Amino acid sequence: MRGPHNIVRLIRTGATLVRTGAMNVVLDAFEAPAPLRAVAYALGWPFQWMGYAGDPDMPPATRALTALGPAYIKFGQVLSTRPDVVGDELAQQLRVLQDKLPPFSKDEALAEVERELGQPVSEIFSEFSEPIAAASIAQVHRARLKQNGQEVAVKVLRPGIERAFRKDVDAFYLAARIVSLCAPGARRLRPMEVITHFEGVVNGELDLRLESSAASEFAANTDKDEGFCLPPVNWEYSSRRVMTLGWADGSPIGDNDALDAAGHDRRALGERVLSLFLNHALRDGFFHADMHQGNMKVAPNGDIIAYDFGIMGHIDEYTRRVYAEILFGFIRRDYKRVAEVHFEAGYVPAHQDVDEFARALRAVGEPIFGMDASHISMGRLLNYLFEVTERFGMETRTELILLQRTMVVVEGVARSLDPHINIWEVARPVVEDYIKTSIGPRAVASDLAKTAKVLARFGPRLPALVERALIAQNGEDAQNNARRAWIAPAAGGLVAGLAIAALGSWLM
């Protein structure tokens, strides 16, 4: 579906941004360069009549994205977690997109449940509420199972969401190409790869069987984490478009008054949210990548309950080690080591000067460590780091997008619970413990054991593999020799022919 016809969708996007008054807000938030502003207005201003009006009671950016459709809403949700990128004002406007969108009707949800589960709703549930939360892709209902009286949460995809999402993402690809052409400085951000990554993430949300699987794996990984729990998946009543989970009772983690009334220690909760995320990311390499206030509660016993597993992050062991070393280097203020890690991982081109890069990193870290604890911000660090790495030619690492974004979100949650939390003090023991177990002598021994295990598995096949590789290499050498043997006389014949032709023309 990608192609020039998507220009109509982009024109409608620009027209909607202009009509709702969101165009200036968005362009200013991204500090868009003049060429990109010109293209944006060219695609929007003359065609305002094509734009959607949206809900006039909403702020401009929220009004525009809500009117444009599900993929735009999801993009807005992502941006709402990045005040370091779009600014506090726009991020605040976009937070309403997290779980306060207009729902579809209960009757449509019941019809969807019956269609997916293959039996009447009355045979499954004794109670089924109106929607209690609605987001861009799905909404949630509170229900009670008929067979055992258990309270559950039933998540149902919006009707027609898959087709609507595909149409919007096609337009995003065209927009990414336009950004690459009109703003060469943005090419290092690899906008096409970012959209591909975004598409993959949301495609996972469009199949609730994958979300159920992610919830199950996450529960297995975190089973022994103190003060943390997940609602269990009810596999019998879950399918591609319907997901049933145990009901989570507790106070919303974003409601400080309710937490105080229930007697919870908000400082301890803030520290636990941050340390849990770092443990999941570094220890397991599998983490909840949408840990905003709308996706967590605090149980009466003080446990943090997480839900909504549509966006989960995964990072391989090598990348986890790189990320941990970078964090650890900043914590120890060892900027030379942070610079070396960037070079060793190939994040910064090898032709750059490592000492100069280290000095630039010091300019990033030292002002932050000189701040009061209430002002130390991972978001600010990432923002400064982004500016420095741009100067040194570092490209966007798409595999780290979710990790970096979630780090900023979790920091925001922790600060909402305790504005004076010291991010580095909380992070230090978690990162140090990971460094000891994953980068020290024990890690070397573990890596050697894994290598030996792979060699043992493929040992009987190694001689044949080496022999085939040598035969292939010999064959390639023979082909190259034959090619050279053919090229030499052919070239000689060509030269001789040209000489004869030249001589003939001179004699004539």
Question: Angle at the Cα of 303 (from 248 to 291), degrees rounded to 5?
Answer: 70
CA distance 168 to 176: 13
d(CA 231, CA 227): 14
Question: In this structure, what are the phi and psi dihedrals at residue 146, rounded to the nearest 5 degrees?
Answer: -70, -35
Contacts of 47 (CB under 8 A, 6+ apart): 11, 12, 14, 15
Judge whether 28 counts as a catalytic residue. Answer: no
The catalytically annotated residue of 225, 290, 353, 447 is 290
Q: Which two tokens stand for residue 48?
A: 């305002």
Phi, psi of 231 (to 5 degrees): -70, 140
Q: Write the CA distances from 507 to 287, 288, 339, 495, 501, integer angstroms.
A: 83, 84, 70, 18, 10
Quote the CA–CA distance of 307 and 155 in Å, as a whole number.
Answer: 11
Provide the 8-state DSSP code for 250. Answer: S
How many C-beta atoms lie closer than 10 Å to residue 227's C-beta?
16
141: which residues sit within 8 A by CB, 6+ positions away? 106, 109, 128, 129, 130, 131, 132, 153, 154, 156
Cβ(407)–Cβ(199) below 8 Å:
no
Q: Known catalytic residues?
A: 290
